[in-house]
Structure 1
Amino acid sequence: MLEPAIPEHLVQERTRPGKTQPNFEPPFPAYSARFPKCTKDIVMAVIGAQYASAADNDGLAISKLTGFIKDGPDAATHPFFWELASVTDTREAYNIAVIAYWLSKESYKAWSTGSGF
């Protein structure tokens, strides 16, 4: 049996009825991140670029995006974690993104000011 995505210390009584049947079992597993109970703020930013097609990807956009994340003036404000993502959408446009995470609003604000983004 899979555990719920909402950790026990964050569970609240519903204010609206659920749309799934009682005892619903999802058809495939999903994954959730777990953070310590003392975690107050997490900031996630999706910073991306789009090309007309995957063939147009010259590497410049991803280089610029990762530069904002890795090469900021103050290493203390860099994201705690970041990852790359890409997808070709239904109109055949190629989308690339950096998904970055900070452990506080303050570190994100300092990064957004100092990174030049």
Structure 2
Amino acid sequence: MLISRAVFRRFLSASQHVHSLHGRPIFYVPAPQRGEILRQIREALPQKRSELGAPVSLEMGKIKTEGVGEVQEFVDICDYAVGLSRMMNGRVVASSRATRYWRVWSFRSVSVP
């Protein structure tokens, strides 16, 4: 598969832009804030489920009910991701502050700036 030069230039431009964002405060959004954004998206989706399901069914060659089911699956994934944004998985616990997180060492937690 060949990629045109224009597409490659756009990809390079986008990747350079993302690379330039490292170290900027806006680039480091804490997990709880990302979870809040997902929660808001999740609350808006059910109202437009049938409207969003129609193009999904056309694109994937499914009946409309299956397209609506795909949207519902995305709603469920959003629920799961919101839960993960506050979950302690044994290694790093997300903090609401952008520059801090909790790293779990055995049974005690240590705050790392």
User: Taking structure 2 as the reference length, what is the TM-score of the superposition?
Assistant: 0.23
Going by fraction, where is helix more abundant, 1 or 2?
2
User: Taking structure 1 as the reference length, what is the TM-score of the superposition?
Assistant: 0.22
Going by fraction, where is strand more abundant, 1 or 2?
1
**Higher RCO, Cα 8 Å, sep 6+:** 1
Give the structure with higher Rg (CA): 2
